């Protein structure tokens, strides 16, 4: 798609946004890619090999059963993800979404654990996979927010009960957090005027379903992603570009109207 194509589609999205009162934005790893974060798999991904140095797939190394069996393995790979995120700042696309709150209700449903939406100023964020900066003890009520893992032990323990602590994220083979699911259920009870999917490969039903439901009812849907996904042929508007480029183009078109 040419730059002109992106601009044309941005103008179409802007026309829908001008009358919108309620918007859902679904974001994945591609949203954070413009902040320099890896997408973990594929081109420039953090994990591109079939197995880790422990001889198991990353989905096993970063699983709930592995955390219980050998937390050192799990923490080693969690630490690498945190290191890849360290120092990242919200890009202009994050800020565009935050500024949209001045015009309408904006709910962000994100798969990302980096906290960049909140850092940019988005207020209503459903972190369906948790937040890597929030630590918790699985045994007691101890919790702690940390900006970096630099000062943590290789396998951190709770200062109150001595149990191995963990980031408040969803590991493989674990259930999604009840509170986040409840919030998602509550916000989707009422219709949205526009639903965005930005930088997500759309592999999970709970990520895909709000977009599909919106499309089925004839509502406006937008995908911002340079590649093809399971949603590409479902959405009304496809901006084949990165998150920052697409969102800034939409904001520019919105201001001109």
Q: What are phi and psi of 107, to 5 degrees?
A: -105, 130
134-153 b/e with 16+ CB inside 10 Å = b? bbbbeeeeeeeeeeebeeee
Catalytic residues: 129
- Are 133 and 152 in contact, with CB atoms under 8 Å apart? no
| Number of helices followed by number of strands (H, E) in the chain | 10, 9
Cβ atoms of 218 and 241 closer than 8 Å: no
User: Do the beta carbons of residue 236 and residue 221 sit within 8 Å?
Assistant: yes
Q: d(Cα 244, Cα 94) in Å, to the nearest integer?
A: 8
């Amino acid at each position: 798609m040419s730059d002109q194509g992106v601009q044309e589609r941005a103008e179409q999205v802007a026309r829908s946004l001008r009358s919108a009162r309620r918007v859902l934005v679904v974001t994945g790893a591609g949203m954070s890619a413009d902040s320099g974060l890896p997408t973990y798999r594929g081109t420039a991904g953090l994990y591109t090999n079939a197995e880790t140095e422990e001889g198991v797939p990353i989905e096993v190394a970063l699983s709930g059963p592995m955390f219980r069996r050998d937390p050192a393995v799990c923490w080693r790979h969690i630490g690498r993800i945190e290191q890849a995120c360290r120092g990242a700042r919200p890009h202009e696309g994050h800020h565009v979404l935050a500024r949209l709150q001045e015009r309408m209700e904006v709910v962000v449903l994100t798969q990302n654990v980096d906290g960049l939406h909140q850092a940019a100023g988005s207020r209503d964020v459903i972190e369906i996979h948790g937040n890597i900066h929030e630590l918790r003890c699985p045994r007691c009520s101890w919790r702690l927010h940390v900006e970096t893992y630099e000062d943590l032990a290789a396998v951190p323990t709770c200062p109150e009960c001595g149990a191995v602590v963990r980031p408040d994220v969803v590991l493989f083979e674990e259930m999604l957090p009840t509170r986040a699911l409840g919030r998602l259920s509550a916000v989707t009870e009422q219709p949205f005027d526009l639903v965005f999917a930005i930088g997500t490969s759309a592999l999970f039903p709970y990520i895909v379903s709000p977009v599909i439901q919106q499309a089925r009812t004839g509502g406006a849907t937008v995908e911002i992603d340079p590649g093809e996904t399971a949603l590409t042929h479902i959405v009304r508007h496809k901006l084949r570009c990165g998150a920052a480029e697409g969102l800034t183009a939409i904001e520019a078109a919105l201001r001109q109207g």
